Structure 1
Amino acid sequence: MLKRKAYAELLNWKRQRREEQLKKCLLIKGARQVGKSFIVREFGEKEYESFISIDFFKQKQLKQIFDGELSSEEIFKRMTANIPGIKLIPGNTLVFLDEIQCCGNARTALKFLAEEMRYDVIASGSLLGLSYGQDDDDEVEEPASLPVGYETQLVMYSLDFEEFLWAYGYDSDVINELKEYMGSDVQIPESIHNKFEELFREFIVVGGMPEVVMDFAINKDFNRVMDIQNNIIALYQDDITKHAKGKEKQLVRMCYDAIPRQLAKELKKFQYSTVEKGQTSRKFGGSVKWLKDSCLVNACYNISEPYIPLMANEKPEQFKLYINDTGLLTCMYGFETKRAILNNTIKGNAKGGIYENIISECLIKRGYNLHYYKPDDEHELEFLIEKDGEVVPIEVKAGNTASVSLNNFIKEYSPDKAYKLIANRNGVSGAKIILPHYYVLFI
C-alpha cells in the first residue's frame, strides 16, 4: 500500500466538515493514473463506517439518481432505491462520485449535497481541468450550473520523491535527517550522498505513477516499468483522440509528442516550429492550452522582471512545457536513455532537459508555480519561485558547471537566498546555497 500525502488533505477536509461546519464537497482533479480513485476508496473504507462509491462511466444506469429534483433529500432517497444494501449512517458515511464529468446533474448537485451535513461527498473525474467547450467526448455532460463556492478543490499528482522513498521503506525521520546539511558548510557524508543520488536517478527513470512505483517496489524490474509506462502514455494519447475537439485531436497529439524533442534542444523554450516547421501559436496555441488544462504537461513562463507577483510579469508567449511525470518522459526517449540515466553516463542537451523536467515536477508537487528568467541571449535561470514573500532563484545543472547566470542574478538583485542544484554534494557561497538535485524535496 502506497503512502500518499494527499491522504492528510482528505483528513483535513473531513476535520473541517466536523469542526468548522464546512459546507463544501471535495473535488479531486488531476491527470489519469495518479491515484485519485484509489486514495478515495482507501480513505472511505478506513475513515468511515459506510462507504458508497458510484462510477458514472461504468455504472451509467446510476445517473438516474440525479434526474429530477436535486435536493439532497431526494438524491439520497433515490440512492437507496437504486443501490441495494447501502447504509446511510449520519456522521459516518462517505459518498464517492467518480468520473463525475459523465453526469452533469451530479456536478450541479454538489451544491446541495455540500449543505447536507449528515453525509460527506467526494467527487473526482478525468480531465476535469478542461472546460466543457474543450471536450469532445460524447460521455461528458455539461452541468446546468457549476457549484461555485461549494467545492474544495484538490489537485493530485503522481508520487513525489519523498513518497517514492516511502515506497522504498525509508521513513520520514531518516529523510529529514538530510535537512541538517541544507545551507551548511558541513558536507553530506559521501556514502549517504551516493545512495540518494542513485535513488534520485531511479526516481527519474521509474517516475511517480502509482502503478509503476508499486510494481517496481515489488519486482525491481525496469523492463516492467517500461511496459507499464508505455501503457499509460498510450492511454494519454487515446484521451487526446477521444476528448480533443475536431482538428485539435491531431494538433494536440503533435504538440505532446514534440515536447521530448524540444527538451532535448539547447534552447528549451517551447517553439511551435518544433511541432511543425514554420508554424506559430495561431495554429497550435489552442492545443498547448488543452495540454496544460488536462494536466498532461506543466508550463513554466518567462518573466520580464523578477519581482513579486511573478505572474504579473509573465511573458505569455514565452514558455517551456514539461511532461507531468519524468518517468513518462524517459520512457518516451526509450530504454537506452533510461539505462544511461541509471548508469550516470547520459550526455548532451537531453540530459539537461531531463533534469529540468524532474526539478519542475518536484517544484509543482511542492505547490510552486513555475517561472524562468532570461534577461538576454546569454543568460538564463531555469526557475524562479515565490517563497516566504521573496523571489528565490533556482539554477539547475545536470553536472556541476559554473553558475554565471545565478551569480549575475545575485549581484543585481541581492536575494536572501539562491539555490544551485547540482550532481554533487552541498556547500554555501554567500547567498548561494549549493545542493544535490534530490534536495529539491526540501525547497
Structure 2
Amino acid sequence: MELKRDIYKNLLRWKNDDTGQVLQVSGARQVGKTYILKKFAYENFRHVVYISMAEPSGGQFLQCLDKINEWEPGTPREERPVHKAFELFDREFCDTKDTVIIIDEIQESSRVFNLVRTLAREFDCYAIITGSYLGRLLSKEFFLPAGDFEDLTLETLTFAEFVGVFGKRNLYESIDLFGGSDAEQYKELKACFDLYQRIGGYPSVVNMYLENKSLEPV
C-alpha cells in the first residue's frame, strides 16, 4: 500500500518556486527518502537521473568525473566539465527544466557534494541531494555553500500521516479538540493512537502491519 507523505507538497512547492537552489532532503535511514523522491521525480519530470553514492552508479559517476578531468597541456579544456560528466553518465541527459538529478547517499563523497554550487549556479535542471548520515557533511573536506541549497527533513510517519493510512485523516483534522465531537469519533482516533504508539511510524513496519493485520512478528 502506498503511504502518502506530507513532504510531497513541499517537494512540489520547491519545484514550482524554481529558485535554482539544490534541494537537500535529510532524515534517518528507512524513513522513505529514496521512495518519496523517486515517486516525486517520476511523476513530475520527463527525465530523471538517479545516482546513489553507496551503489555502483556512484562509482560510475565518479569515473565520468575522472574522464572529463583528463587533460593534456596545449589541448582545449572542457568548457562545462560537470555537464559533460552527466552526459557521459546518461546519454539522454539534457540540462532543461524537464530534468531532475537525484544524488542519494551524498555523504559518501565529498567530491560529489562539492558540486552543489555548480549544480545550483550553472545548471538549468533541478537537483536533489539526500542521505542518511548527513552529519558527515560537517567534516572539513565538505564545502558547505551558503545560499545554494534548501533543506527539507523527512521523519517517520507523523500521527496525521498514520491515520491517513486508515482513511481517518479527515476525522483527525476536523475533530473538535474541546470535546464537541461524537464520542465514537474520539474512540476511533484513540484506537489509532494506541496502535501508533505500538508500531511507530517507520514505513516498512506500517506496511508489514497492513499486510499481516497483526502486531506479532512474522
TM tier, smaller: 0.7 to 0.9
The answer to whether the Cα contact below 8 Å between 1:72 and 1:116 also exists between their aligned partners in 2 is: no
* Secondary structure of 1:122 counterpart: strand
> What whole-Å deviation, never above 9, does each CA across 1:152-186 have from its counterpart, x for those lacking one?
0111100001111111223x4333221xx22x4x4
Whichever residue aligns with residue 3 of structure 2, its letter is: L
1:221 aligns with 2:197: no
- Cα 1:72–1:203 change in 2 (3 A) is farther
Q: How does 1:18-417 map to 2 (within 5 A)?
A: 22-59=19-56, 60-67=59-66, 68=69, 73-83=80-90, 85-88=91-94, 90-130=96-136, 132-133=138-139, 142-143=141-142, 145-170=143-168, 172-178=169-175, 181-182=176-177, 184=178, 186-224=179-217
- State the structure with bigger RCO (CA 8 A, min sep 6), 1 or 2: 2
How big is each residue's C-alpha offset from its partner over 1:325-380, in whole Å with a ceiling of 9 and x where there is no partner?
xxxxxxxxxxxxxxxxxxxxxxxxxxxxxxxxxxxxxxxxxxxxxxxxxxxxxxxx
CA distance in 2 between partners of 1:222 and 1:63 (Å) = 44
Which amino acid letter does the alignment assign opposite residue 215 of structure 1?
M
Task: Tell me by how many angstroms 1:50 deviates.
Answer: 0.4
Distance 1:216 1:142, change over 3 A: farther
1:7-28 CA distance string (max 9 Å, x none):
11111111111xxxx1310011
Aligned AA (2:114): T
Aligned partners of 2:95 and 2:49: how far apart in 1? Answer: 11
Match of 2:4 in 1: 3
Distance 2:80 2:200 in 1: 44
Q: How far apart are the structure 2 equivalents of 1:28 and 1:65?
A: 25
Q: 1:39 and 1:207, CA in 2 relative to 1: closer, same or farther beyond 3 A? A: same
Contact 2:24 2:151 (C-alpha < 8 Å) held by counterparts: yes
Give 1:132 shift. 4.4
Larger-gyration structure (1/2): 1
For 2:171 and 2:181, the matched residues in 1 are separated by 14
Provide closer, same or farther for how the CA distance between residues 198 and 163 of structure 1 changes in structure 2, counting only shifts above 3 A.
same
Equivalents in 1 of 2:11, 2:165: separation in Å? 20
Using the TM superposition, give the Cα deviation of residue 221 of structure 1 relative to its aligned residue in structure 2, in angstroms: 2.0
Quote the Cα distance in structure 2 between the aligned partners of 1:24 and 1:204: 37
Instruction: Please give the alpha-carbon distance, in whole angstroms, between the structure 1 residues aligned to 2:187 and 2:171.
Output: 15
* TM-score in terms of structure 2 length: 0.85
The answer as to whether partners of 2:61 and 2:85 remain within 8 angstroms in 1 is no
**Structure 2: which 5+ residue stretches go unaligned?**
71-77
Q: What is the deviation of 1:66?
A: 3.9
For residues 218 and 104 of structure 1, the distance between their equivalents in structure 2, rounded to whole angstroms, comes to 40
| Partner Cα distance (2:185, 2:89) in 1 | 57
Could you tell me whether the CA contact under 8 Å between 1:109 and 1:147 is conserved in 2?
no
Indicate the SS of the match to 2:216: helix
Aligned equivalents of 2:115 and 2:137: distance in 1? 18
Instruction: Using structure 1 for the length normalisation, give the TM-score.
Output: 0.44
Alpha-carbon distance change, 163 to 72 in structure 1, aligned in 2, over 3 angstroms:
farther
8 Å Cα contact 1:72-1:112 kept in structure 2: no
**Whole-angstrom distance in 2 between the partners of 1:64 and 1:35:** 28
Q: What is the rounded CA distance, in whole Å, between the counterparts of 2:35 and 2:3 in structure 1?
A: 10
For 1:114 and 1:128, the matched residues in 2 are separated by: 19
Separation of aligned partners in 2, 1:174 and 1:193: 9
Q: What per-residue deviation string (whole Å, max 9, x for no partner) do you get for residues 365-423 of structure 1?
A: xxxxxxxxxxxxxxxxxxxxxxxxxxxxxxxxxxxxxxxxxxxxxxxxxxxxxxxxxxx
The alpha carbon displacement at 1:65 in A equals: 3.5
**Cα deviations across residues 243-274 of structure 1 (Å, max 9, x unaligned)?**
xxxxxxxxxxxxxxxxxxxxxxxxxxxxxxxx
CA RMSD of aligned residues (A): 2.3
Amino acid at match of 2:203: P
Unaligned runs of 5+ in 1: 134-140, 228-443
The share of aligned pairs that are identical, in percent, is: 27
Letter in 1 for 2:62: K
CA distance in 2, matches of 1:73, 1:119: 14
Is contact 1:66–1:75 with CA below 8 Å preserved after alignment? Answer: yes
Which residue is 1:424 aligned to?
Answer: none
